[in-house]
Structure 1
Amino acid sequence: MDTAPQATATDSGRHPVVVPLRDLDAGDLAQAGGKAANLGELIGAGFPVPDGFCVTTDAYAELAEAAGLADLLDDPAADLARTARERILAAPVPAHVAEAVAAAYAELGESVPVAVRSSATAEDLPFASFAGQQDTYLDVVGTDAVLDAVHRCWASLWTDRAVVYRARNGIDSATTRLAVVVQRMVPASVAGVMFTANPVTGRRTETVVDAAPGLGEAVVSGSVDPDHVVLDSGTGTVLERRPGGGREACLTDGQLRELVRLGARVQEHYGRPQDTEWAIDADGTLWLTQARPVTTLFPVPQAGTADGGLRVWFCASLAQGLTRPLTPMGISVFQVVGGSVQRLAGRPPADPVAGSPRVRAAAGRLFFDVTPIVRSTAGRAVFPRLLDVMEARSAVVLRALFDDPRLSLVHRSWLPVVRRLARVAARYGVPLQVVQALVRPAAARRRVDRVGARLRARRLPGDDAPADERLDAVLGLLGNAVPTVVPRVLPPVAAGFAAFGLAARLLGDTAQPGDLGTVLRGLPHNVTTEMDLELWRLATAVRADEPSAAALRDGTPAALAERYRSDALPAVLQRGLRLFLARYGIRAVAEIDVGVPRWAEDPAHLLGVLGNYLLLDDPDRAPDGVFARSVAEAEDVVATLTARARLRGRARGAVVGFALDRTRQLAGLRELPKYDLVLVLDRVRALLASIGADLASRGVLARADDVFLLDLAEVRVALGDGRSLQDVVTERRESYEREMGRRHVPRVLLSDGTEPEAVSAGPAVADGALLGTAASAGTVTGRARVVLEPTGAQLQPGEVLVAPSTDPGWTPLFLTAGGLVMEMGGANSHGAVVAREYGIPAVVGVPGATSRVETGQEVTVDGTRGVVVPLGATPS
């Protein structure tokens, strides 16, 4: 007979403070917390879970009220974690709660050993497990001991680690409450943990078991060296076994297969990989003591094609220098843009709104299905070579997949690829454009400038046009974006780099290390470096105007941005910023995401950068002077290399000189295709914002910019039926904010969940140095500044910028940086190009750089060899 619920439920009308686990399920999160709700769910589904009860969140709420936590949470000056713990422990357990716990404990048996575990409402959630953040007490015997353990579990909601973890995951401590699980102990002969997917490699087809004799808590806490076994999830076959502690294996093959079967059932019940705890008692009975989602696995993109077999997904977000998530609209836009690539090749998508089936999203990041590329001779030859200069580490990862028998060659002939490329080249006159660019580079630059001018001048429907017409204009812009820009702007760029490659081949070993990289310094006609130098000129004007300089010194970027919008900044700053934004206001940090405000909408980042520029008082480090010296160095090296080539023949010298000259006249245009695409996105954003305003006026959305948390198909439907989508927007915003905290994004991901980079050993680096790709020649030693997001970043002049990746929105920071280290990128990625042009030593493609280098740590950046040496490491 279950007495506890009746005793508490009818006590003065209170909610139950104690509930048997078997009466709970997944819907009882608010009452029982994540752990207890999961255990009740498992019991209800027939899993072998030890009996027990839950001290509900209502009991905690009573104690918290008596302890005065509400007042503490309202006090921003309070030492929240420490003071909350002290108050919880000082407050006595309410008498009726103590009585209910004693009665429920007696139901389990006389003096039975129990485990007392915390169960927070923010725990064992699909996006954050909170494993180990609150306390657990084992082998607790006796009513007084159980009550004391419950009391201490309540206090553990306020450990420093738990408070920090909640903050990092966007969980409001004020709304988090704690229940406590009291569960009969299993007299374990062996116990441990089991993951139904491999948490290291991400492979969903493997089960990983860690086990040790005795209680499983020793395995969880890391206080023992457990047996480690990796098994095939389908067959239970042992793939890897490592005994722990020098002992015999503590599990038989039969017990391992039983564990795999149990794990498969739990995963099937929840529909996703699970992190479980288990125990086997002296009689050989297997018990499940806990299950929660494996939250560290990166989600696998869902295939958009019917092709079977293993798929290879390439992270396009990282290739574009973006580690943060894209908004849902940003993803939808790129799916349509992916369809425009198909249109360029003469194979438009069946559904223009859905776009290309090979462009998909996972965790808010863009992924391309590159399986056909990996399985073709032409793809293997070309794609990794492109990545060598864009995102070099991805090229290494992809090449390692070529030996996987599951990804064997299917398309061996080059002929179909050559035919497709030839048709596109002929349709757009690409060969002629390349030749014309080499013969008359100035004329080629004028032609590509006209592409951007036509994009700016294109007439679009106004705000008074029907919303459907504006949406059609959005689809028209996006569907033709790539055909409009790429075949007209890219050929002169290709001509410049082809000339560079020819010069490098003809020079051979006569070019010393760093020489060819220096040729690419200070390149003219680069729209991004022109932008940054224009911003520096504005800073110079502001420095000379005391009211403007004082405004930057004394105001916060957000407040200054508000003053700019009100036309209330000092005249020099107001006018200068307005002129700058008239040309470059279409840009932004994470500018490939149409859902991100442009600088013209919110110039706070730029105002912060301008304020930072005022700190630079060394005239030798003035960016315009540094850039001019880079130009002079490049021209000197061109002359030197030409002279060296001439020693091997007059004709060779003439060709090398011509090729290097065309490199410098054309290679700087490499930023222009993206700039023009960003111009398209700016126009698309304006149209979508106007549609969002219409939807907000009809109550479909709460505000206009909520439209960027929908996709294009949803907007089309919303314009037709007018149903409210505010709940959808709220859920999307919460998911987006959670994803903003994700640090790890795989470069390449297989459809079975494997992260190939995690499986393969990284490059060997001696003596603590970090190895990457040489991106900009030179060596610098300085203090590191790790920056994960550029908005609001304060980079002191001469500091080494250490970043996950960069896009044009980051580059204003480059002007005062002493060096650059990036986790992503290759020798011709955006960050590398800009670093070279500013003469900043740079190393890119350094795995884990932002976690292996600390702000304030002195580092040496060797941009010639591609090595970063933190303080204390000995260069090889």
Structure 2
Amino acid sequence: MESLVSLSSKEALSASKVGYKAARLARLACEGFPVPAGYVLTSRALREFFRFNGLNSQVENLSQSILKGCFPEHLTKRLQEALTTLGADVLAIRSSAVAEDTQQASMAGQLETFLQIAPDKAAEAIKACWASLFSRGARLYLAQKGLESASTMGVILQRQVFPLYSGVIFSLRPDSGVADELVCEWVSGLGDSLVSGRRSPQRIYLLRSNPRLPPELPSTLAQGLKQLIPLVFKAEEIFNDFLDIEWCLDQEGIFILQARPITTLTRKYLWSNVNIGENYPGTLTPFTWSIIEPFRYGYFHALFKELGLRDKDLELLNPVIKNLVGIHQGKVYYNLTSWYQMFGALPLGQNLAHFFNHYIGLHLPIKAKGPRLETPGFRFWGRLLCCLFSLERKVAAFEREFYRIHQLCRPQTIQGLDLEGLEDLLFKLRHFLEKRWSGAAMADAAAMIFPALLGKFLKAQMGLEPEEALLPLLRGLGLKSVQGLKMIYLLARRIEDHPLRDLLLKGRYQELERSLDSEARELLERFMFEFGGRCYHELMITAPTFEERRDLFWDLVRAALLSSWDPEKRERQERRQRQAFTQKVLKALPWRHRPLFYCLLTLAQQGISLRERARLCQSLIYGDIRQVVLRLGQKLTELGFLGEPGEIFFLEATEIHQLIRGKFLFPETLSQLVQLRQQAFKASESQKPPSTFLLPLASFWQASSSEVRPDGVVLEGLGVSQGRAQGRAKVIRDPARETLSPGEILVAPSTDPGWTSLFLMAGALVLERGGLLSHGAIVAREFGIPAVTEVKGACSLIQSGQTILVDGDQGRVFLLDRDENV
């Protein structure tokens, strides 16, 4: 490689030659991002400089020797040619070490950056960048990270931008790991004061799903941020990671100055309740959770056997598919890390991950990586395509088997069973749910794959966004779930001109049922068999069904009677609109593409329709399980094990079996166990964790509002690094004159790179100034110590030796033994 290459060239893409900072900028420049024009000195230039000056890493006072060294003549000439071509009057010159801005180390503040450098001073600035890699502070930092041998660096030379605003945007909240929001900070003018922490920035939080800007922003800034936000998401796709991106805005528009992974995310697990939170919207009981977890495992185990995965591969995937869901604050979450590991193990797994993202409506920068399987790709995809093209038959067989067991769960049948019969029926339901779900799983796969393929096809051929194209093409399909609404409508119309109308309007539902004629009664019983196991929050199992609470059903009939709503008419309208849009697309497509469009459209519509049929069976089987378990609860209440039947939902399915079969250890503790779980359930109901976040292994989301706040005076600030730490405070304004003992909490006006060694001993950090990108914030997150910045007057209000508690989650500092004189 050349010793000096253009920043927009392919030669600059090698991180081992130019460093990760330069390589990422080069990648963005090659992808068309607005990156200031420039060049980068490669690691070869540093080697040539060392060789010319007789230097090596063993030289004493190497930094000083570098500053005193001279450039080889050919390197000087090449540098002058590049600067002439660049044509910039003023330069920005920045280090790009190979160990810098990686997942292992940010090297925040350790290496030199020079702004507003005249071209004739460029050589001195370059040497100062090289020298900073071998400074005492940098070597100490690298040693702490286990990177003592790191001695390779590139140097970036770019046209200096004189911005109106400079800032940073994080694609998740680095202080908490919450991925629901973007965090954007900025200052006016150059951004060096933001990074150093000398100035406190302005800050906004933007929803990832809908990043609307606040209306009070200056118009120039608002226009620039509108430019920036799509670039953030595009950069995430390129690097498959959550990023913090430095940017600036001048009269020409937005420029990207740096993009790097957020260094606090290493070895964390990504959780999200997007999509699954719609099915399970509240706090789960222990019984519901004991049904969900094995169902998910059985679902994928049966699916992968259907798709021809070998037993050895299934065994390899077991640890992954056993951990696809988890619980935080009583709510169910996808473990997306495990999902992407599962997809990564399968042939063309990145495509499956893309289909999954489209299916659940979540787009996050996670690359699918998983264990290597032995099952050939052609076998997997061949079986998958065979299953998908015979899906109607498979779902019909699944439905027949389901309705046979559903027939066993009629209320009168359940009421007549004894304890053993109820347990046996619960076992059959759970066995069907965990072992016989492959047909329904294939319907889910079709609904995941074919709409996504159809959306990609239409975007490629017509430039239509998936939402714009798919919504009108997948409507008016006559879904099975709509049939229940039609039955409600028919019953309402039957009562409309009947004397029973008054009973319905007055809410005298029991009397109404007794007075129904044979046809209306037949319609009612048919609804109860086909849809009576459903209701609101049906998959929670704890919610009553229409079969239990017929008043809820009659409320719907009453509403249908009073409205002009006609589901048949509505469906016809939707179908006509779908057909019209389909014809519009067909006319716009070339003849050769129409057969593929029609094939994808048919498969997508079939996948949605069959998925809804299978989804109805899931709702009904959960309703059946509820009825059986409630009856078991009545039996166990009669036997004195429970205080009332509903308490059974606070036992797991295996615990119910153990209780019935005499295997429950310490049954005398049962009432206390149920009471404890009920209390935890009630406390969790008021908690609302974020929808998407990252956590380390063996960690649970803890809501800040539920944490106990210690007594004492509270100072408010900005939490920039998670965690809580209590200890003695040490106020330090000048680290050259004052020392920090291990475990003490460092309190300071702000920090610069020279303070880094103190972070190795600090139990926590409190600063008067600094944002999320300030040196103190970055290094605190990297070292895993709690930190709160922007605590006004911290150095005056906190005394050395005073006991304080630093809460990086809430952005608070608690003064626990505050001197009344302060």
Return the TM-score normalized by structure 2.
Answer: 0.45
Higher relative contact order (CA 8 A, sep 6+): 2
Larger Rg: 2
